C-alpha cells in the first residue's frame, strides 16, 4: 500500500504536470471511469482481476476507431510518485498504441503499484523490462513540444492525461 508520503508526492507531481487525478475503489470503478472518458473511446484490457472496461470503451479497435476515438484507456504497470511518471507496457492487444494515438489518455493504476522514486522504479523495470526482454514507456505528463515557438501540449501524443487510481488493488 502506498504511504501517505508517497501518495502526496504523486499528487503534487501530477498537479505540476497538469495531469488529472481521481481515486475510486473496485466497486465504483465503472462509474468513475465513465466520468473520466469522452466518447468515442477505445481501450486495451486492463489485466486487473475483477476490473473490466465498460462497453462504451471499444477493445481491439480498427484503425479508423483508433483514429476517431477521443479517449484511450489503458492500464499503467506502475507509477513513480516523485516524477508523476506512468509505466505503460507494450502488449499484444495494443496498450501502448492506444495510449499514444488518442488525444486523451486515461491510465488506470492499482494503488499497490505506486512506487516512490527512480531507484525503486528501476529495480522493477530491470525485472519487468530488462530481464523479461519486454518494452515499456515511462510517460511523464502529456506529449509536449516547444518547437513551434512556445510550449504546446499534444505534439504527436495525447494532449491531456488522467490517472484513475483504484484503491485496494
Residue 35 or 39 having the CB closest to another protein: 39
Residue 36 or 61 having the CB closest to another protein: 61
Write out 111-138 in H/E/C secondary structure: HHHEECCHHHHHHHHHHHHHHCCCCEEE
Residue 35 or 126 having the CB closest to another protein: 126
In terms of Cβ atoms closer than 10 Å to its own Cβ (0-12, 13-18, 19+), residue 138 is middle
Which residues contact another protein (rule: CB under 8 A)? Answer: 60-66, 83, 85, 90-97, 100-101, 118-119, 122-123, 125-126, 129-131, 133-152, 154-158
- CB of 75 vs another protein, minimal distance in Å: 14
- CB of 144 vs another protein, minimal distance in Å: 5
3-state secondary structure of 3: coil
Distances (CA, A) of 15 to 4, 85, 90, 159: 16, 12, 26, 15
Residue 50 or 133 having the CB closest to another protein: 133
Amino acid at each position: 500500500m502506498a504511504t501517505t508520503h508517497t501518495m502526496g508526492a504523486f499528487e503534487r507531481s501530477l498537479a505540476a504536470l497538469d495531469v488529472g487525478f481521481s481515486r475510486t475503489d473496485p466497486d465504483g470503478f465503472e462509474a468513475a471511469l465513465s466520468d473520466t472518458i469522452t466518447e468515442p473511446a477505445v481501450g486495451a484490457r486492463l489485466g486487473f482481476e475483477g476490473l473490466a472496461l465498460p462497453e462504451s470503451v471499444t477493445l481491439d479497435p480498427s484503425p479508423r476507431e483508433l483514429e476517431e476515438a477521443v479517449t484511450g484507456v489503458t492500464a499503467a504497470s506502475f507509477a513513480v510518485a516523485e516524477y508523476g511518471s506512468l509505466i505503460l507496457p507494450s502488449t499484444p492487444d495494443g496498450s501502448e498504441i492506444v495510449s499514444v494515438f488518442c488525444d486523451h489518455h486515461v491510465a488506470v493504476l492499482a494503488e499497490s503499484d505506486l512506487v516512490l522514486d527512480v531507484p525503486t522504479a528501476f529495480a522493477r523495470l530491470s525485472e519487468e523490462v530488462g530481464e523479461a526482454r519486454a518494452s515499456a514507456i515511462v510517460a511523464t505528463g502529456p506529449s509536449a513540444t516547444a518547437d513551434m515557438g512556445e510550449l504546446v501540449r499534444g505534439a504527436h501524443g495525447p494532449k491531456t492525461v488522467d490517472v484513475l487510481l483504484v484503491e485496494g488493488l
